[in-house]
Amino acid sequence: MAVAIVASALGSVVGDHVLYLAGARGGERLLALYCRLTLRSERCVESTLNYFTRFGPAAIVLGRYSTSVRLFAAVLSGTGRIAYHRFVIYDLAGSLAFATVWIGLGWLFSDEVGVLLEWLGRQRVLLLIVPTAILAIVGYRLWQRWRHGRARAAELGGSCGPAQNRILR
């Protein structure tokens, strides 16, 4: 189990370095593109930047538990908001914690999950749960977009406030 945790954490750290480098080349534009492609509202860009500014380096650790924050914690770190050595430390800590939680839960509940999957059967999962989940997610995102408007990259063009431009060292 320890080998799986270490391998998972190292894989996450290596993947996050690609995102860190992408952030150095245009992280805020990448964030706006992601928000548009995933049908998020214009508040997506603002809320991600606010979350990152509010939590700083801890957003890297906490971001493991939220997909959009996880992707852009590394990207926004690469824009100069967090020094590289601090990014590596926080990313490794978050990756180890995340891998430990999920691998530990998988080990703890493996028998129960097997029984549940056998009870559900393949047809029920594929025909009922997956399409319902996809429709719910797309419907919610479209509703958010209709309510708040499309994500816009023009508002980001280097016009961040002083709190967002500071580099945490």
d(CA 107, CA 11): 20
129 located within any domain: no
> What is the pLDDT confidence band of residue 123, given thresholds at 50, 70 and 90?
low
21 located within any domain: yes
* Domain count within the chain: 1
157 located within any domain: yes
Is it the case that residue 168 has pLDDT exceeding 70?
no
pTM for this one? 0.63
Read off the amino acid at residue 117.
Answer: L
128 located within any domain: no
> What is the pLDDT confidence band of residue 159, given thresholds at 50, 70 and 90?
very low
120 located within any domain: no
Boundaries of domain holding 22: 2-109+149-165
Looking at residue 92, what is its pLDDT? 93
161 located within any domain: yes
Average pLDDT, the chain: 79
Q: pLDDT higher for 91 or 153? A: 91
Looking at residue 169, what is its pLDDT? 47
121 located within any domain: no
